Chain A
Amino acid sequence: MSNNTITYLLGNHAIAQAISQCSTDVVAGYPGTPSSEIIEFLAAMKPDCHIEWSVNEKAAMEVAIGASWAGGRSVVTMKHVGLNVASDPFMTLAYSGTRGGMIIISADDPGCHSSQNEQDNRRYAAFAQIPCLDPAVPQEAYDMVFYAFEFSEKFNMPVMLRPTTRVCHGKSNIKLRTSAPVHHEIGFQKIPSRWVMLPAHARLRHQDLINKQQEMMQELGLSKWNDLDIIEGAKIGIIASGVASVYTKECLKKFNTKASFLKISTYPPPVELIKELLGSVDKVLVIEEMEPIVEDVVRSISNSISNKEIEIHGKDIIPGYGELNVSIIASCMASSGFTDNQEEADIVDKTSIELPNRPPVMCPGCPHRATYYAMKKAFGKDAVFPGDIGCYTLGIQMETMDTCLCMGASITIATGIYHAGETKPICCSIGDSTFLHTGIPGLLNAVYNNADITVAILDNRTTAMTGHQPNPGTGQTVMGDATYMVSLEDIATSCGVQFVKVIDPFNVESTIEIFNKAKEHKGTSVVISKQECIITARRRGIKPRPFEVDIDKCNGCRMCIKFGCPAIQFADAQVEGEKGYAHISNLCAGCGVCASICPFDAIKEVC
Chain B
Amino acid sequence: MIEFDLVIVGVGGQGAILSSDIVGLAAVNSGVPVQASETHGMAQRGGSVENHVRIGLTYGSLIPKRQADCILGLEPVEALRAVDYLSSGGVIVVNTNPILPITALSGACEYPDVDMMINELRNYCKELVAVDANSIAKQAGHPLTANVVMIGALSKFIPLSVEKLEESIRRLVPPKTVDVNIEAFRLGRLQ
Given A171-B38, A360-B12, A561-B107, also A345-B101 (CB < 8 A): no
Closest to B168 in A: A8
- For the complex, is A359 an interface residue (Cβ under 8 Å from B)? yes
CA distance A114 to B111 in the complex (A): 26
CB < 8 Å neighbour of A360 from B35, B44, B104: B44
Stretch from B112-120, B125-133, B152-160, B179-187 forming part of the interface with A: B112-120
- B33, A325: Cβ atoms under 8 Å? no
Q: Which of B68-100 contact A (CB under 8 A)?
A: 77-78, 80-81, 83-84, 100
Can you show 19 pairs from A to B with CB atoms below 8 A apart? A114-B42, A136-B60, A166-B62, A171-B35, A172-B33, A172-B61, A246-B59, A247-B59, A250-B59, A350-B84, A353-B116, A355-B81, A357-B101, A358-B48, A358-B101, A466-B41, A561-B107, A566-B46, A570-B105
| Contacting residues, chain B, for A297 (C-beta < 8 A) | none
CB-CB nearest in chain B for A563: B106
Contacts of B65 in A (CB 8 A): 327, 345, 348
Give Cα A349 to B123, complex, Å: 11
Is B148 an interface residue when CB atoms closer than 8 A count as contact?
no
- Note all chain B residues with C-beta closer than 8 A to A467: 40
Q: Is the interface of B mostly helix, strand, loop or mixed?
A: mixed
Whether, in the assembled complex, A354 has its beta carbon less than 8 Å from a beta carbon of chain B, the answer is: yes
Task: Flag whether A34 is at the interface (Cβ < 8 A).
Answer: yes
Residue of B nearest to A325 (CB): B62
Asked if A7 is an interface residue, CB under 8 A from chain B, the answer is yes
Q: A355-B80, A360-B45 are in contact. Are A8 and B60 (CB under 8 A)?
A: no
A399 shortest CB reach to chain B, Å: 13
B18 within 8 A of A: no
Beta-carbon contact of B28 and A351 below 8 Å:
no
Chain B residues contacting A566 (CB-CB under 8 Å) are 46, 102, 105
Partner of B109 from the list A114, A136, A356, A465 (CB cut-off 8 Å) is A356
Which residues of the other chain, A, contact B107 by a CB distance below 8 angstroms? 561, 570
Query: Nearest Cβ in chain A — how far from B23, in angstroms?
Result: 10
Asked if B34 and A114 make an inter-chain contact with CB atoms under 8 angstroms apart, the answer reads no
Task: Please tell me if the beta carbons of B84 and A166 are within 8 angstroms of each other in the complex.
Answer: no
Bound complex: CA of A34 vs CA of B43, how far in Å? 12
Taking a contact as CB atoms under 8 Å apart, the answer to whether A33 and B42 are in contact is yes
- B37→A6 contact, CB < 8 A: no
Task: Let me know if A344 is at the binding interface, CB within 8 A.
Answer: yes
Q: How far is the CB of B84 from chain A (nearest CB, A)?
A: 4
Taking CB atoms, residues of chain A closer than 8 Å to B20 are 171
Interface residues on B, range: 35 or more
Tell me how far the C-beta of B13 lies from the nearest C-beta in chain A, rounded to whole angstroms.
8
Closest CB-CB distance, A17 to chain B, in whole Å?
Answer: 15
By a CB distance below 8 angstroms, the chain B residues around A349 are 84
Sample of 12 further A-B pairs with CB below 8 A, known A166-B61, A350-B84: A33-B41, A171-B24, A171-B34, A173-B28, A246-B60, A325-B60, A325-B62, A345-B64, A349-B84, A360-B44, A561-B107, A566-B102
Q: How far is the CA of A327 from the CA of B85 in the complex (A)?
A: 11
How far, in angstroms, from A34 to B40 measured CA to CA in the complex?
8
Residue from A6, A330, A562 within 8 A of B64 (CB atoms): A330
Contact status A247-B84, CB under 8 Å: no
A351 contacts B80, C-beta separation under 8 Å: yes
B21 vs chain A, min Cβ distance (A):
7
Report A-chain residues with C-beta under 8 Å of the C-beta of B103: 356-359
CB neighbours (8 Å) of A569 from chain B are 100, 105
Interface presence of A523 (CB below 8 A): no
Across the interface, name the chain A residue whose C-beta is closest to B107.
Answer: A570
Q: Enumerate chain B residues within 8 angstroms of A250, measured Cβ to Cβ.
A: 59-60, 64
* Given A172-B35, A173-B28, A359-B47, A353-B80 contact (CB < 8 Å): yes
B61 touches A351 (CB 8 A): no
Q: Is B66 within 8 A of A344, CB to CB?
A: yes
A566, B77: Cα distance in complex, Å: 17
A356 to B112, CA, bound (A): 8
For B80, what are the chain A residues with a Cβ–Cβ distance below 8 Å? Answer: 351, 353, 355
Indicate if the CB atoms of B120 and A172 lie closer than 8 Å: no
Evaluate contact between B102 and A397: CB separation under 8 angstroms: yes
Chain A residues, Cβ within 8 Å of B137: none
B36 touches A171 (CB 8 A): yes
CB distance from B58 to the nearest CB of A (A): 8
**Which of B29, B105, B112 has its CB near the most chain A CB atoms (within 10 A)?**
B105
Contact partner of A355 among B24, B28, B66, B77, CB < 8 A?
B77
**A34 engages B41 (CB within 8 Å):** yes
B34 and A172 form a contact (CB under 8 A): yes
What residues of A have a CB within 8 angstroms of the CB of B64 in the complex?
Answer: 250, 325-327, 330, 345
User: Is B151 an interface residue when CB atoms closer than 8 A count as contact?
Assistant: no
Q: A137-B35, A170-B35, A363-B45 are in contact. Are A6 and B60 (CB under 8 A)?
A: no
Least CB distance, B121 to chain A, in whole angstroms: 9
Q: Chain A's nearest CB lies how many Å from the CB of B78?
A: 7
Q: Could you tell me if B45 and A362 are in contact, using CB atoms closer than 8 angstroms?
A: yes
- The answer to whether A356 and B77 touch (CB under 8 A), given A171-B38, A325-B64, A326-B64, is yes
> When the two chains form the complex, which single residue of B44, B60, B83 contacts A243, counting CB atoms closer than 8 Å?
B60
Across the interface, do B35 and A169 meet the contact criterion of CB distance under 8 Å?
Answer: no
For A572, give the chain B residue with the smallest CB separation: B107
CA distance A361 to B12 in the complex (A): 10
- CB pair A166 B60 closer than 8 Å: yes
Query: What are the 6 A-B residue pairs with the smallest beta carbon separation, nearest first?
Result: A114-B41, A360-B47, A246-B60, A33-B41, A326-B64, A358-B101
For B105, the chain A residues whose CB sits under 8 A away are: 561, 566, 568-570
Closest Cβ neighbor of A561 among chain B residues = B106
Q: How far is the CA of A316 from the CA of B31 in the complex (A)?
A: 42
B1-19, CB < 8 A from A? 11-13
Q: Indicate if the CB atoms of B40 and A33 lie closer than 8 Å.
A: yes
A201 close to chain B: CB less than 8 A: no
Interface status of B25 (Cβ within 8 A of chain A) = yes
A564 part of interface (Cβ distance < 8 Å): yes
Quick one: CB contact mask for A162-191 with B, threshold 8 Å, 1 for yes?
000010011111000000000000000000
Q: Is the CB of A361 within 8 A of B35?
A: no
Interface presence of A10 (CB below 8 A): yes
What's the minimum C-beta distance from A214 to chain B, rounded to whole angstroms? Answer: 33
Q: For the complex, what is the distance from the CA of A584 to the CA of B101, rounded to whole Å?
A: 15
Tell me which residues from 1 to 34 in chain A have a Cβ below 8 Å from any Cβ of chain B: 6-8, 10, 33-34
| In the complex, residue of chain B having the shortest beta-carbon distance to the beta carbon of A362 | B45
Q: B39 interface residue, CB < 8 Å from A?
A: yes
Give min CB distance, B165 to chain A, whole Å.
14
Q: Which of B35, B41, B104 contacts A113 (CB 8 A)?
A: B41
Report yes or no: B120 in contact with A351, Cβ–Cβ below 8 A: yes
Smallest CB–CB gap between A542 and chain B, Å? 18
- A249 with B59: CB separation less than 8 A: yes
